Amino acid sequence: MRILYGVCAWGLGHATRSLPILRRLVADHEVLVYSDGAALAYLRRELGGRAAFLPATVPYPNIFSGSALALRFFALAPRLVGAMRAEYRETQRLVAAHRVDRVVSDSRWGVSAPRVPSLFISHHLKQLAPPRLRAAERLTEWVTWRAIHPRYRRILVPDVSEDGGLSGRLAHELHCYAPSQLVYLGLLSDLTPGPGQRPASDAGASLDTLVVLGGPEPSRSRLEARLLPDLARLPGRTVVLRGLPAGDGPPWPTGGVEALSHASRDERDRLFGAARVIVGRSGYSTLMDVAQVGARALLVPMRGQTEQEYLAVRLARKGLVHAVAERDVDLARDVPLARTRRGLDGFVHPGTDAAARAVAEILA
């Protein structure tokens, strides 16, 4: 089959979680990857000549350049809608020009085609409301459902179906979606856990702290600058993954701490598998990677990003992770606290293959 696969480019999370699906698809099918920015650079690097790459000509406006995310979202809503409409028109041209058989969209809302089976990948099926306005979530769910369900044959949810999963209310406690349209895949991660289980005491870990930076700019750079003064104070070995797949960031200023602009798949496997504590944003793809290796984590949600704040607070209240606001983070204090939490073990069920299930749904 010839498959058009769109990937949202707000940060690297959508690209990293789609990679295990794309790796399977390119083995037997012709895949056209449609994205932009750092996400497209990352996918080019990982897939190379096994896929074709179509740069999106109408990138979505960046709503993450300030702390007042909700205000920026509403201010930029007309531009967002315009970009999605332009993207939809571009998708129709691409489907016709390349004779596409399937369309897959990882959270690019304009990527669908009425005459071609289309599938949507998302864990974010409604916008969360504050506790006093919880009833408003039914409205936000209805708005999201109304925009998605007529255009996609299936909605593929990268989460487990039971007990609220990893995503909580973002993809559970739903009222509008028909169960037949939702497919809970399990967690999607491009990491491959090493043989055996992580030791309960972490005594066998050879890496004390792994700092994983990512997300859209300027959030990525802001967290890097916030953590830099504390890194040298951490005991043992610390490694920083800077989240710069194009290698275009400023020089690393801290000589005493290892840093990689980007890591290969094998390097990521080794680093995630060895780390006693992983420090990073509470973006959903990062959480899936942490859960894949069953690690302990210190989460620093993006300021004003409701989804990340909700996920960090939810998991911290369960005693699984330690979470702290960006303005308050102190690595020397918070990393040892993270080591006392239970970690994100138990979300990945043995014998399940979320990527294989996604591929089966795409090709059906």
Determine the Cα–Cα distance for residues 262 and 9; give it in Å rounded to an integer.
17
Q: Quick check: 77 pLDDT over 80?
A: no
- Burial pattern 143-154, b for ≥16 Cβ within 10 A else e, equals ebbeebbebbbb
Give the model's confidence band at 177: pLDDT under 50 very low, under 70 low, under 90 confident, else very high: very high
Q: Quick check: 300 pLDDT over 70?
A: yes
Q: What is the mean pLDDT of the chain?
A: 89
Spatial contact of 170 and 126, defined as CB atoms under 8 Å apart: yes
Hunting for tokens 């897959």 — which residue is that? Answer: 104
Q: What is the pLDDT of residue 313?
A: 97
Q: Quick check: 69 pLDDT over 70?
A: no
Mean pLDDT, rounded, for 185-211 = 73
Give the model's confidence band at 215: pLDDT under 50 very low, under 70 low, under 90 confident, else very high: confident
Give the model's confidence band at 129: pLDDT under 50 very low, under 70 low, under 90 confident, else very high: confident
Q: What is the pLDDT of residue 66?
A: 52
Hunting for tokens 């916030």 — which residue is that? Answer: 226
| CB contact set of 284 (below 8 Å; sequence gap of 6+) | 13, 17, 123, 124, 158, 166, 167, 170, 307, 311
Determine the Cα–Cα distance for residues 194 and 203; give it in Å rounded to an integer.
16
Q: What is the pLDDT of residue 204?
A: 46
| pLDDT tens digits, one per residue of 106-120 | 999 999 999 999 999
Q: Tell me, what amino acid is at 137?
A: E
Q: What's the full length of the chain, in residues?
A: 364
Hunting for tokens 């925009």 — which residue is that? Answer: 147
CATH superfamily name and code, 207-339: Glycogen Phosphorylase B; (3.40.50.2000)
Rounded-to-10 torsion of CA 290, 291, 292, 294: 90
Q: What is the pLDDT of residue 201?
A: 45
| CB contact set of 65 (below 8 Å; sequence gap of 6+) | 72, 217, 218
Residue spans in the chain of domains classed CATH 3.40.50.2000: 2-189+351-363, 207-339
| pLDDT tens digits, one per residue of 341-352 | 999 988 988 888
Give Rg (Cα) of the chain. Answer: 20
Q: Quick check: 168 pLDDT over 80?
A: yes
Look up residue 170 and give its two tokens: 């973002």
Q: What is the pLDDT of residue 331?
A: 97
**Strands 154-157 and 238-241, how do they pair?**
unpaired
Give 164-231 as a DSSP string: TTTTGGGTSS-SSS-GGGEEE-----S--PPSSPPPTT-TT-SEEEEEE--SSTTHHHHHHHHHHHHH
> How are strands ordered across the β-sheet holding 296-299?
258-260, 238-241, 207-212, 275-280, 296-299, 322-323
Determine the Cα–Cα distance for residues 223 and 212; give it in Å rounded to an integer.
10
Q: Quick check: 70 pLDDT over 60?
A: no
Give the model's confidence band at 154: pLDDT under 50 very low, under 70 low, under 90 confident, else very high: very high
How is residue 272 annotated by DSSP?
H
Mean pLDDT, rounded, for 220-237 = 93
Q: What is the pLDDT of residue 74?
A: 63
What pTM value is reported for the model?
0.90
Helix and strand totals (H; E) in the chain: 10, 13
Angle of CA points 272, 195, 283, to nearest 5°? 30
Q: Quick check: 281 pLDDT over 80?
A: yes
More confident residue, 198 or 156: 156
Q: Quick check: 76 pLDDT over 80?
A: no
Most confident option among 40-54, 63-77, 138-152, 215-229: 40-54
Q: What is the pLDDT of residue 256?
A: 84
Q: What is the pLDDT of residue 314?
A: 97
Mean pLDDT, rounded, for 43-69 = 80
Select the CATH number that applies to the domain covering 2-189+351-363 from these four: 3.40.50.300, 3.40.50.2000, 3.30.70.360, 3.40.1670.10.
3.40.50.2000
Of the candidates 244, 240, 257, which has an alpha carbon nearest to the alpha carbon of residue 217? 244
Of the candidates 110, 113, 108, 147, which has an alpha carbon nearest to the alpha carbon of residue 127? 147
Give the model's confidence band at 71: pLDDT under 50 very low, under 70 low, under 90 confident, else very high: low
Give the model's confidence band at 196: pLDDT under 50 very low, under 70 low, under 90 confident, else very high: very low
Determine the Cα–Cα distance for residues 119 and 263; give it in Å rounded to an integer.
30
| pLDDT tens digits, one per residue of 27-44 | 999 999 999 998 999 999
